[in-house]
Amino acid sequence: MDAFLDFTRRFSRNWAAVAGCVVLTFIVLAAVFGPMIYAVDPFEMLGRPTQPPSAEFPLGTDVSGRDILAGLLYGARVSLFVGIVASLGATFIGVVVGAVSGYFGGIVDDVLMRIVDFFLTIPSFVLAVVIVAIFSPTLLVVTASIAIVSWPSVARLVRGEFVAQRDREYVHACRGLGMSAPEIIIRQILPNALAPIVVVSSLMVATAILTEAGLSFLGLSDPDVISWGYMIGVGRTVLRVAWWMAAIPGLTIMITVLAINLVGEGLNDALNPRLRQR
């Protein structure tokens, strides 16, 4: 309890992180409860195409006459879902690979790090495009492709943390007590390396949202769901005459990514022991 209060106090000192947390909370609440309050089908054609914002349509309509506000609220669910799930998937893969590589070292470390280097040599967005193009562009495939291209950076970070911890006295003591390698990795070393992993995972959500938006903009998204990137892709065809169609979801993505980055920096300040005395 004292540790949590100490963390909360350090986090609250960063006013930018607190502001980002407030904005992110509002976006999450809008994604969860917005479609219930504003119960409009985002796929239903309700008005004239490219209608500007009005009392009937607060954010206007798209090229098919669909309500942009409804699409924005429903799209928040998809974009946040992809960002969170892809980040969790990439973190899980990266932690497993990095922990095994850093703890055992030797040939295991060499093989796993060469695999990581191979993934790092390929531009992540290009690899995501290739994966989605090979398979059908469903929401699951898009999420999995983002996780696949994001895990190597996590693996590098986790490996470094485990290399720094594996020769500490408490690890030698655990080996002397007869603890198995998985038990030492999960119960002893991993908790001590958790702080940077949490920070990187939170920042990865923002990267995943941007990647999903880029894929949707190129038309490599699930046609049965609406996301913010999909809305930008639809609006780009009429950018000169109906700029708000692309600007509104684009601004929403920018605000969301900025809020996540601010929260990530706040977590880094609060969890990094080197910064606790600032």
Look at residues 196, 186, 228, 224 and name the one whose alpha carbon lies nearest to residue 75.
228
In the block, residue with structure tokens 């408490």:
170
Q: pLDDT digit string (tens) for 47-78?
A: 888 888 888 888 888 888 899 999 999 999 99
**Domain layout of the chain by residue ranges:** 62-253
What confidence tens digit (pLDDT) does each residue in 8-29 have?
A: 888 888 888 899 999 999 999 9
pLDDT tens-digit readout, 90-108: 999 999 999 999 999 889 9
The answer to whether residue 121 scores a pLDDT higher than 70 is yes
Q: Which amino acid belongs to residue 197?
A: I
pLDDT digits (tens, 9 = 90+) for 154-200: 999 999 999 988 888 888 898 888 888 899 999 889 888 888 888 89
SS3 61: strand
The pTM of the full predicted model, rounded to 2 decimals, is: 0.88
Cα torsion angle, 116, 122, 123, 126, sign: negative
| pLDDT of the residue at 265 | 84
pLDDT at position 274: 54
pLDDT band at 278 (very low <50, low <70, confident <90, very high): very low
Does residue 128 carry a pLDDT above 80? yes
Per-residue pLDDT band for 268 (boundaries 50, 70, 90) equals: confident
Q: Whole-angstrom Cα distance, residue 55 to residue 59? A: 9
In degrees, to the nearest 5, what angle opens at C-alpha 207 toward C-alphas 202 and 212? 125
Structure tokens at 160: 């470094």
Tell me the CATH number of domain 62-253, given options 3.90.1170.50, 2.60.40.1180, 1.10.3720.10, 3.40.50.1370.
Answer: 1.10.3720.10
Model confidence at 2: pLDDT above 80: no
Give the other-Cβ count within 10 Å of 133's Cβ. Answer: 14
User: What integer best gives the mean pLDDT of the chain?
Assistant: 88
How far apart are alpha carbons 230 and 208 in whole angstroms?
A: 15
Residues 6+ away with beta carbon under 8 Å from 137: 215, 220, 221, 222, 223
* Residue among 33, 162, 32, 22 nearest 97 (CA): 162
- pLDDT the model gives residue 273: 54
Q: Which residues contact 130 (CB under 8 A, 6 or more apart)?
A: none
* Burial grade of 226 (CB within 10 A; 0-12, 13-18, 19 or more): buried
CB count within 10 Å of CB 237 equals 14
**Cα–Cα dist 274/74, whole Å:** 41
